[in-house]
Structure 1
Amino acid sequence: MSTEAGLDTEEIPEQPTWSRWVVIGGTLLAVLLIGATAGMFLTRAVDDDPAAAVPAAGSVEVGFAQDMSTHHLQAVTMAGIARDRTTDPEIKQLSFDIERTQLEQVGRMKGWLMLWDRPEQPIGAPMQWMTEPMTGHDGMSMAPSSVNPAGGPLMPGMATDEDLKKLRSLSGRAFDVFFLQLMLRHHQGGTSMAQYAAGHSTLPALKALVNSILTSQGAEMDQIKLMLSGRGAQPLPA
């Protein structure tokens, strides 16, 4: 109790750290569920059209939803590591924004897969839905996937197991810079996947999601480049 101007006031204790993370975790879970609900709602709206058909297994729509969900979830994992470890407020905010945005998008895609009665994960290697070369963010042709010696095929831009191990081993400025480098490369790969899917699908819900991905990740890529420059660092080599 403290007294000021003759009135008794109670000091409000600071919210404990664990409590703040519970709130953040609950917020992110709610975002995922909202995305799933939106995905199912939009797909049901399309299904009400007699001309609309459920995408076939192996189609661009199903493959994109399966692979981009996995791609997004790695970004969410890296962002969670950064949010918990960095002391840089700018990177903490970027990390939370990535988690929130990409979880909502994952929810949408998983909602589609549920209504289409398709598995959440593809059978076999990723990117089988991509039958033509993919143009990267720099205009160069990109292969559908690269090989991660420790964990099998990877989609464009994804971090390898060694990348993630290195990220977890760093701290301070070195951690911040490597996180930004990995996330920029991750966004660039995801952007190319989204552009390919939009160019090979007529599904309105997919095109709407791609527009959301390109808008959010485009702004974040510009921000990350500025953040790297401000820290005297460059993007990873192509």
Structure 2
Amino acid sequence: MSGRTPRTYWAAGTAVLLALLFAAAATVAAANGDPGAPPRTAAPATPGLHSPDAGFARDMAVHHQQAVEMSFIVRDRTQDEAVRTLAFDIANTQANQRGMLLGWLDLWGLPKVVADEPPMSWMGASGGQGGHGDHAEHGAARPGALMPGMATKEELALLGSAEGRDAEVLFLQLMTDHHKGGVAMAEGCAQQCVTPVERALAQGMVDAQRSELTLMADMLGKRGAAPRG
């Protein structure tokens, strides 16, 4: 597998980590009266229940969970080193990012599930802290799928029963669809979320998953297949 994918993950992860460390260091320095610390400013408002920040954290946590599930499934259905390595990278990266998203919800004192909130409704919210907002058009989810790009239960079952090349091709096609949906959602947060570290994480997702889309198209081509229409 091309080495660019792990490097992309490290770059995105490092950017977020540095942002978090800088914010923490600045906070401690200010609290200790460090003259070199940036001037104190009012703490940013905690994101609202239906804000883009909270909605993205909830929806992307669910989206990532399925990517992790598919990656673990294909790991046991093929011995191809390139596919298994890609699956490991996706599972490891998205599990870690999911933990960050859920951790922010805990930090904000917000629930991880809101019963009356349609998936991705936050992408139509106004002003970052508003109410439900109108559900913008972001491509309809296929019947049986929770969000655009996500696989159905039937597709997951098919992946779990496939072997060898068939499993590799189906995984790459399903993950290609999954990444396209994830990129659209992450772009929404990069534009609308007001929490700097969350925007940075979202942009890192966009960059990494776009790189992987190119990689997976190449891997499908080598197997005589192509992404689904």
TM beyond 0.5: yes
Task: Map 1:46-195 to 2 at 5 A.
Answer: 50-124=42-116, 125-131=118-124, 142-143=138-139, 145-146=140-141, 148-149=143-144, 154-195=146-187
Q: In structure 2, how many angstroms separate the alpha carbons of the residues matched to 1:119 and 1:133?
A: 20
Q: Structure 2 unaligned runs (5+)?
A: 1-12, 28-40, 125-133
Q: In structure 2, how many angstroms separate the alpha carbons of the residues matched to 1:195 and 1:117?
A: 25
How much has 1:76 moved relative to structure 2? 0.4
Q: What corresponds to 2:202 in structure 1?
A: 210
Q: In structure 2, how many angstroms separate the alpha carbons of the residues matched to 1:218 and 1:130?
A: 20
2:77/2:163 contact within 8 Å kept: yes
How much has 1:51 moved relative to structure 2? 3.6
Letter in 2 for 1:217: Q
Higher strand share: 1
The alpha-carbon distance between structure 1 residues 164 and 209, as it changes in their structure 2 partners (threshold 3 A), is same
Q: Structure 1 unaligned runs (5+)?
A: 1-33, 135-140
Secondary structure in 2 aligned to 1:142? coil
1:66/1:121 contact within 8 Å kept: yes
2:65/2:95 contact within 8 Å kept: yes
Letter in 1 for 2:68: V
2:68/2:91 contact within 8 Å kept: yes
Secondary structure in 1 aligned to 2:150? coil
Secondary structure in 2 aligned to 1:94? helix
Q: In structure 2, how many angstroms separate the alpha carbons of the residues matched to 1:116 and 1:107?
A: 14
Q: In structure 2, how many angstroms separate the alpha carbons of the residues matched to 1:171 and 1:201?
A: 41
Work out the percentage of aligned pairs sharing the same amino acid.
42
Question: How far does the alpha carbon of each residue in 1:70-114 deviate from its partner, in whole angstroms, 9 at most, with x for none?
Answer: 001100000011112211010010000001111111111111001
Q: What corresponds to 2:5 in structure 1?
A: none
Task: Figure out how many residues of one structure are paired with residues of the other and give that number.
Answer: 191
Aligned-pair Cα RMSD in Å = 2.7
Q: In structure 1, how many angstroms separate the alpha carbons of the residues matched to 2:141 and 2:210?
A: 23
Q: In structure 2, how many angstroms separate the alpha carbons of the residues matched to 1:76 and 1:171?
A: 18
How much has 1:198 moved relative to structure 2? 1.4
How much has 1:146 moved relative to structure 2? 2.0
- TM-score normalized with structure 1 length: 0.72
Alignment match of 2:226 (pick from 215, 234, 238): 234
Q: In structure 2, how many angstroms separate the alpha carbons of the residues matched to 1:73 and 1:194?
A: 15
How much has 1:147 moved relative to structure 2? 5.3
Large movers: runs of 4+ above 6 Å: none
Secondary structure in 1 aligned to 2:183? helix
Question: How far does the alpha carbon of each residue in 1:136-175 deviate from its partner, in whole angstroms, 9 at most, with x for none?
Answer: xxxxx633x52544xxx61110001111111112112111
Secondary structure in 2 aligned to 1:176? helix
- TM-score normalized with structure 2 length: 0.75
Q: In structure 1, how many angstroms separate the alpha carbons of the residues matched to 2:172 and 2:228?
A: 10
1:67/1:121 contact within 8 Å kept: no
Letter in 1 for 2:210: G
How much has 1:192 moved relative to structure 2? 0.4
Letter in 1 for 2:52: V
